[in-house]
Structure 1
Amino acid sequence: MKRVLKIIAWTIFGLVISLFALGALFMYKVQNGFPVSYETEKPVLKLTANQPAILLFSKTTGFRHGESIDASKPIIQAMANKNGWTVYETEEGGVFNEEQLAQFKLVIFNNSTGRVLNDEQQTALEKYVENGGSLMGIHGAGDNSHHWDWYVANLLGTTFSHHPLNPQFQKAQVHLEASVDSSLQTKLPVTWEGNDEWYVFFDQPKDAQVVYYIDGEKILPSGNMLWMKDKNFGMGKHHPVAWHKTAGKGKTFYTSMGHSKEVWANPAYSNLIEQGILWSIAQ
């Protein structure tokens, strides 16, 4: 009997150790990306003439927000049909070359996580934006898995820390920043209710115009779990959730909202994305 109990105890201990190791490996991969392959073959682009072209890029090598990515595509395509845009959807990085990027008015990192482009492709995107192109990032595009200094500085202007874990999703009133551009102010609701995974950043975004914010004192911001004991802080009363910046001659627009497919069902959120695109492609 003692032998059986000893075997059971060691089996349970082994399972606990294995689960802990798998959890640690998963957290490492979320922060540093999964094994990466880079696509370098240039695609054949079939873009409609005389329509602004948008590159919708959804490649992930870190955590994949699959349901949000899938929900976003038909909604953004419907916006394109309404506004006369052409959308080129891809998860292949070969399009990130100077010649082909020049054919787009806007590149959207649609919950793209991890290292998704090689050095040459990153440089091509940097030049594209700094020479007058636009870059938009949605939710996971702002986590800390990209390991790309230019991208963090010019899309975000701050560094991701964590997101709440208990509870992970929380309702909050989303408020329009009073100083937002008039082109956005007249087309965005002053306040609306969002239910999302609210990203926490270490600082307010530098050299950015905030578009929307929440009251960070009205959510539970702690991201502490297991060995992480220093993620129990938030961003205070003024917690930005959408903002834009300039980068050389170009523009960037980012929203930390957009974790789940349900977020895309909120008309106020989809309107934010539509107006963000319109702002991004405007001359």
Structure 2
Amino acid sequence: MKKALKIALLSMLALAVVLVAAGFLFVYKIKNGFPAGFETNQPTINFPADKPALLLFSKTTGYRHSQSIDAAKKAFHQMADKNGWFVYETEEGGVFNAEQLKKFKVIIINNSTGRLLNAEQQQAVTQFVESGGALMGIHGSGDFSHDDWPWLVTNMVGASFSHHPLNPQLQAAQVHIEKNSDSALISRLPVSWTHTDEWYVFLSQPKNAQIVAYIDGEKILPSGNILFITDKDFGMGKYHPIAWHRDVGQGKTFYTSMGHDAAVWQDARFVALLENAVRWSIR
């Protein structure tokens, strides 16, 4: 009897250790990613001479928003067919070289998370934007897994990510358009609409940014507390930005924290905002 009890207790202890280790590995992956390496081979791309080129980058080494990534790919290709754009879609970093980036009008970071590019490739993005290019980011591209790329955090997001709500994770909120937004970014959009998403909470308002859309942060449940993480029970207050843009050198960046799952791509207003953002980027 004692032996059986001892075995049971040891089994429970082993299971607890495995669960704790798995939890730490999961948190590490979410915050840092597990890169297998950085791709450096330049791809062969046939750029149409008469179409603005969009680089749609969907690589992940951290948490992967698989369904949203796939839905976004479909949506951007549909936009391209409608507007006469060329989309080059990839999950490899070899295209991030100065020579090929010059041929694109805008880089779209499609929910990419974790460590994505090496130092030389990151610098190529910096030069691309600061010399007149545009960079767009969706949802996970602004989370805390990009600490190895401080330029991205500073110049695309402009704020440090803290957490997202967990109970419930997805919540409906009223999206409001900022009245003073660039007319190109809010064309065809209503002044407000209801949207369900995973609302990111940042530690501050985005710095040096022009806000395009916001929600009332006091009307959502913002707590991100889970297990031993108990300091995430706060939001961004009544004025909670969810889409904004910044001038960076001669170029510009646009970011929206919306875009967690496939369902958001069924929201015509959300898709229209991103279509406007591409038009704004390449005009």
In the TM superposition, residue 179 of structure 1 has moved relative to its aligned partner by: 1.3
In the TM superposition, residue 19 of structure 1 has moved relative to its aligned partner by: 0.5
- The answer to whether the 8 A contact 1:166-1:223 is kept is yes
Aligned to 1:60: 60
- The answer to whether the 8 A contact 1:33-1:62 is kept is yes
- The answer to whether the 8 A contact 1:58-1:109 is kept is yes
Structure-2 separation of matches of 1:189 and 1:18: 50
- The answer to whether the 8 A contact 1:129-1:249 is kept is yes
Per-residue displacement from partner, 1:239-263 (whole Å, max 9, x unpaired)? 0111111100001000000010011
Aligned to 2:146: 146
Aligned to 1:221: 222
- Provide the aligned C-alpha RMSD in A: 1.0
Aligned to 1:271: 272
Aligned to 2:249: 248
Aligned to 2:131: 131
Structure 1 segments (4+ residues) deviating >4 Å: none
- The answer to whether the 8 A contact 1:107-1:135 is kept is yes
Structure-2 separation of matches of 1:172 and 1:102: 39
TM-score, normalised to structure 1's length? 0.97
Q: Does 1:170 align with 2:159?
A: no
Structure-1 separation of matches of 2:73 and 2:159: 27
AA at the equivalent of 2:69: I
AA at the equivalent of 1:218: K
AA at the equivalent of 1:160: F
- The answer to whether the 8 A contact 1:36-1:116 is kept is no
In the TM superposition, residue 193 of structure 1 has moved relative to its aligned partner by: 1.0
Structure-2 separation of matches of 1:51 and 1:205: 33
The gaps in structure 2 that reach 5 residues or longer are none
Aligned length: 282
- The answer to whether the 8 A contact 1:138-1:254 is kept is yes
TM-score, normalised to structure 2's length? 0.97
In the TM superposition, residue 10 of structure 1 has moved relative to its aligned partner by: 2.0
Structure-1 separation of matches of 2:70 and 2:170: 19
Aligned to 2:194: 193
In the TM superposition, residue 24 of structure 1 has moved relative to its aligned partner by: 1.1
Structure-1 separation of matches of 2:121 and 2:114: 14
Moved more, 9-18 or 60-69: 9-18
Structure-2 separation of matches of 1:23 and 1:184: 41
In the TM superposition, residue 146 of structure 1 has moved relative to its aligned partner by: 1.2
State how 1:1-283 maps to structure 2 within 5 Å: 1-147=1-147, 148-282=149-283
AA at the equivalent of 1:189: P
Indicate the percent of aligned positions where both proteins have the same amino acid. Answer: 60
Per-residue displacement from partner, 1:102-160 (whole Å, max 9, x unpaired)? 00000000001111000000000000000000000000000011121111111011111
SS of structure 2 residue aligned to 1:145? helix
